[in-house]
Amino acid sequence: MRAWFACSGATLLARDPADTVGRLAAAQQARGYPGATEQQYAWEQQVAALRIAIAAAGGGAWTVALEYDLLRLEKRIDAVVLTDRAIIAIEFKSGAAAPALLAEAEDYALDLRDFHAGSRDHPIVPLLVAGDAPFAPPAQPPLIWEGVTAPIGCGHASLGAALAWVQSTAPEARRPLDGEAWLQAPYRPVPTIIEAATMLYARNGVAEIATARADTANLTRTAEAIRRAVRAAQQAGDKRLVVVTGIPGAGKTLCGLNAVFAPEAGPHSAFLTGNVPLVAVLRAALAQDAVRRGECGRDEAVRRAKQRLQNVHRFLEDGAMDAARRAPVDRLIVFDEAQRAWDAAKARLGTRNKPSKLTMSEPAHTLEIMGRHESWAVIVALIGNGQEINTGEAGLAEWGDCVAASHGAWRAVAAARAIENADPVQRLAEGWPNWLDRDDDLDLTVPVRSVRDSAGAAWVDAVLRGAVAEARDIAGGATDLPFLLTRDLHDLRAALRRFARGQRRAGLVAAAGAKRLRAEGLGVQAEDVADWFLRRWPDVRASDALETFATEYDCQGLELDVVGLAWGGDLLWRGDAWLPRRFAGADWQIVRSAEERRHIVNTYRVLLTRARYETVIWVPRGSRGGGPHHDRTRDSRELDAIADFLLACGARPLEAARHAEAAAVPTLL
C-alpha cells in the first residue's frame, strides 16, 4: 500500500490523534526520511482538521489515506478522502491560497487519474486547504463528473463544508467507490526522462519507476537483460557490446541511465552522448536534485553529474590522444544513439568549430579504448531507429564490422531487430555470426513516452511513410490518439495552456530547417536549453512561456507533457509523397540527396514523438492570393495540402476537440 497510514473515517475519529501522528512518524523513519519538528506539527494540525471535517460531513464510512506516495512527482498527497462517490485529493498549506498551490493540488489529482488504476472510473476533486478562509462553493458545479475537476479551495475550519459539498453535489456512482479496493489498486507512473534520471541517481531502480501499463513490462525485462550481459562479462572477464534497440519513445535512454546507475556497474560508469542539450539538461537536473536532497554541495553535485554524464566526442578524443593507451576509469559505458556515431570520414573531419583528433570511426575508437581494460568491460549501445538527423552517421553496421574485426577480443549480444532491419546500414550483421549472441529482451517494442495511447509511434511512422489509409486505421482504432491540428498560432498557444493542467509542462518545437516560420510570428529559438526545460513560468526563459521553440537538436532524448509542433515549409506533401526542402538564400531548394531527404523526414519523427500527452500541430495558413505582396516561400496551397493530409490521416481538428473537451470536463469556476 502506498499510503503511509489509512483507515476508515470512523476509525480516524475513534483513534487517539497522537497515535495516528505517531504511525506517520514511524512510516517516515522506516522510509529513511529524517524527522522534523515542523512535520510533526503539520501532521497534528492536519489530523485535527480531518477529524473535525469527517465528523461534520458524516464520513464515518469513508476511507482516509494519509501521505499517499506519488513516485512520478517525487511527492506525497497529504490526504486522500474516498467517499462512495468521489476521490478527494487534499493538499494542506499553512499560508493563504495561491494559484500555484491550486495547480499543485490539481497535479496530484491528474497523477492519480493517469497512473492509478482504481481512479479511472471515478471523479477526482483536487482540494487545497490553506489558511482560514471559508468555503465558497463554485458558482457552476460540473454538469458531468468525469476525470479531474477544476481545483477548489477552503480553510482548515471549513474543510468539513467542502467535503460535504463534494459528497452532496457529485452524482451517485453507478458502482460505488470501494475504499479498500482503491488502496490495493496498482499505481504505476511513467516518469519523464528528467524525473527518471533524478530518481535513478538517487538509487531507485527502473522496476519501481518504469511502467504505467501492464504491456510495458518489457522495459524491466530489457533492464534485466543488460544486467545479465554485464554479469556474464564480469564472470568471463571479457569484453561485450550490448545492443539495445527499440521504437521511438520506448525507454532506451531510461534503460541506459539505469545501467549506469545500477549496482552491477560499480562507481565507475558513464552515460556518453553527443546530444549536447541532453547532457546540459540532465546534468543541471541531477545537480539540483542532489543539492535539494542534501547529499552534497552544489560544486560537488556538478562534479558528480559531469562524471556520470559525458560528451561522447570528448571521451573519445581524450582516449585517442592518450599516448600511454591507458584504460579509462569507467568499465561500463552507455553510448546513446549509437547508430549516429560518426563514420571514419566524419570522425577525421570533426566540426567547423573544433578539428578532430580521431583517426578511425567512433565505433572503432570506442572498442579500442574500452578494450584496454585487462579484465571485463561493457559498452551498451542504444539504437534509436529512424532518428538519424545528421550526415556522417555510421549506422549500426559499423559497430558490427568493428566487433568482427576485433578477432575475438569483443563479443556482442542483441535482439533480432538489430539483424532484420531493412536498411543494411542499420543491420549489426548479416545473419548470426559466432561472435553475436541473441537476446530478444534487448528490444523495446512498446512506447512508454505517450501515456494515454501506445499507438502514437505507429501513427507517426505511417504518416511519415505517406501511408494515409494505414494512419487513418491506426487513428480509428486508438482510444485517445493525442494528435490535434490547428491553423492558428494564437489557438495553438491557448490550447497548450489549457492542456497543461496542474504543473505539467508545455512547449513549442520546430525543425531547425523551418526557416520561414519567423514570417508567421515564430522565429526565436531557445537560447539555453537547460533553462528552457527546467525553469517554470513566470520565468520567460521556460518552455511553458511559449515564447521560444526547441529544435530537433535541442529536444532529442527529452520530452514535454504537451507539445506544440510548428510545421514548416521544409517538408511538403505533394499528393503521393513527402518533398523535403532546404531554405537557401531567398528561396526553397528541393533536396536531392537520399540521405539528407531521410534526415529531414526523421526530424519530424523526432518532433512528433516528444509529447507524453497531447501534440498540437500548427500548420500556418501561409501567404494567400497573388499580387506584389505574395510570399512564394509560404505559399498557402502548399501548407493547405499538409494540413489536409494530416487530417486525412486521423489528426483531430483542434476546434472539434475543444468543443468535446468543454462538454465532457466543464469548469468549476
State how far the alpha carbon of 309 is from the alpha carbons of 14, 222, 271, 330, in Å. 53, 21, 5, 12
**What per-residue confidence (pLDDT) applies to 668?**
34
Any idea which residue has 562479462 for its cell? Answer: 233
What is the phi/psi pair of residue 438, to 5°? -110, 130
pLDDT, mean of residues 176-205: 78
Hey, which of 38-42, 292-296, 567-571 has the most confident mean pLDDT?
A: 567-571
Residue 269 has pLDDT above 50, yes or no: yes
Distance CA 253, CA 258 (A): 8
**pLDDT score of 450:** 66
Helix (H, G, I), strand (E, B) or coil at 263: helix
Q: Which residues contact 572 (CB under 8 A, 6 or more apart)?
A: 578, 579, 581, 638, 641, 642
Q: Kindly report the average pLDDT of the chain as a whole number.
A: 89
Count of alpha carbons within 13 angstroms of residue 420, beta-carbon side: 9
CB contact at 8 A, 245 and 385? yes
Position 658 scores a pLDDT of 63
Q: Rounded to whole angstroms, how far apart are CA atoms 178 and 173? A: 11
What is the structure's pLDDT at 110?
Answer: 93
Q: What is the DSSP letter of 611?
A: B
Q: What is the mean pLDDT of residues 40-64?
A: 97
- 507 φ, ψ (degrees, to nearest 5): -170, 160
Query: Which residue's C-alpha cell is 528552457?
Result: 532
Q: What is the pLDDT of residues 615-651, one digit of tens each?
A: 999 999 999 987 888 999 999 999 999 999 999 999 9
110 close to 123: Cβ distance less than 8 angstroms: no
Structural domain boundaries in the chain: 3-184, 193-275+309-444, 456-664
Q: pLDDT at position 215, please?
A: 38
CA distances from 513 to 516, 529, 543, 552 (A): 9, 18, 20, 10
Assigned fold of 193-275+309-444: Rossmann fold (3.40.50)
Supply the pLDDT for residue 210.
43
For residue 129, the SS3 value is: strand
Reported as a single tens digit per residue, the pLDDT across 394-420 is 889 999 999 999 999 999 999 999 999
3-state secondary structure 403-439: HHHCCCCEEEEECCHHHHCCCHHHCCCCCCCCCEEEC
Could you tell me where the DSSP H helices lie in 330-388? 344-349, 362-370
Taking residues 440-456, what's their average pLDDT?
77
CA-nearest of 662, 535, 669 to 146 is: 662
> Which pLDDT band, with edges at 50, 70 and 90, does 275 fall under?
confident
Position 317 scores a pLDDT of: 92
Segment 168-183 mean pLDDT = 93
Average pLDDT over residues 535-564: 93
- What are the residues whose beta carbons fall under 8 Å from the beta carbon of 171, sequence distance 6 or more? 85, 145
Q: CA-CA distance, 394 to 386, in Å (whole number)?
A: 14
Name the nearest CA neighbour of 579 among 595, 567, 565, 590.
590
Query: Residue 6: exposed, middle, or buried by beta-carbon count in 10 A (0-12, 13-18, 19+)?
Result: buried
The band of 46, judged by pLDDT with boundaries at 50, 70 and 90, is very high
Is 70 exceeded by the pLDDT of residue 386? no
* Amino acid in position 398: E
Q: Is the torsion defined by CA of 275, 280, 285, 286 positive or negative?
A: positive
3-state secondary structure string, 150-179?
CCEEECCCCHHHHHHHHHHHCCCCCCCCCH
108-148 pLDDT, tens digit each: 999 999 889 899 889 999 999 999 889 999 988 887 888 99
Collapsing DSSP to helix, strand or coil, 657 comes out as helix
CA distance 555 to 281: 10
**What is the average pLDDT across 229-236?**
96
